[in-house]
Chain A
Amino acid sequence: AQKVTQAQTEISVVEKEDVTLDCVYETRDTTYYLFWYKQPPSGELVFLIRRNSFDEQNEISGRYSWNFQKSTSSFNFTITASQVVDSAVYFCALSRNFGNEKLTFGTGTRLTIIP
């Protein structure tokens, strides 16, 4: 069985601060995919990143960066210089390493950026 844990239910930071969202996963598969999605107040899930378990390199995209550590089964997400528009619920998710596999989501972290 697969499981994703996002222990941080809610986080509030002041604008321009850096913030890290934690994600810990469990799977018996040796290969898998990890994801982060953003769900703004409008409700639609927005894809942010997919990472194959083969690739443990960290990734940076603008103000966003992701730290994948297979040894601790973690896939953390950092927003640098946060902005009010970053306020949303963020979900970490996991799927098996086959095409068209279902996603297993965590419970999400509600991030509020205070102006």
Chain B
Amino acid sequence: GAGVSQTPSNKVTEKGKYVELRCDPISGHTALYWYRQSLGQGPEFLIYFQGTGAADDSGLPNDRFFAVRPEGSVSTLKIQRTERGDSAVYLCASSLRGGQVYNEQFFGPGTRLTVL
């Protein structure tokens, strides 16, 4: 079946602009994660959704970052007033609903955001 998809694959914007990054998880996966990977670094956790609600948003760097998942499937990461430091690859991952059993996170190809 289809894996996690992310659009766009590349996004170039100017400093101060607003951007939206989209993630389509694997069908049936109720858990969805956003990570950010800066150049030469490992992915860093941003936010985790279980269904429609954000179960953990402790990784969001500041209030310019916001994410939604209104119907429990597709998620959109929104960044306001972009800064050059926001340039990174934004990764999305999804997994089956958890509980006491660990479920693998499957990663998408990422969106490369460049803020000029």
Interface residues of A (CB under 8 A from B): 4, 33, 42-45, 47, 50, 52, 91, 93, 95, 97-108
Q: Known contacts A52-B102, A100-B97, A102-B33; can you find 6 more A-B pairs with CB under 8 A?
A: A44-B110, A93-B42, A99-B100, A100-B95, A102-B59, A107-B41
Asked if B72 is at the interface (CB within 8 A of a chain A CB), the reply is no
A104 contacts which chain B residues (CB < 8 A)? 45
Inter-subunit contact B109/A44 (CB<8 Å): yes
Inter-subunit contact A100/B103 (CB<8 Å): yes
5 contacts between A and B (CB under 8 A): A43-B110, A99-B103, A102-B33, A102-B59, A103-B43
Contact of B43 among A47, A50, A91, A97 (CB under 8 A): A91
Asked if B108 is at the interface (CB within 8 A of a chain A CB), the reply is yes
Interface residues of B (CB under 8 A from A): 31, 33, 35, 40-45, 48, 50, 55-56, 59, 89, 91, 93, 95, 97-110
**Given A99-B100, A99-B101, A103-B45, A44–B56 Cβ distance below 8 Å?**
no
Inter-subunit contact B100/A98 (CB<8 Å): yes
Residue of B with least CB distance to A33: B102
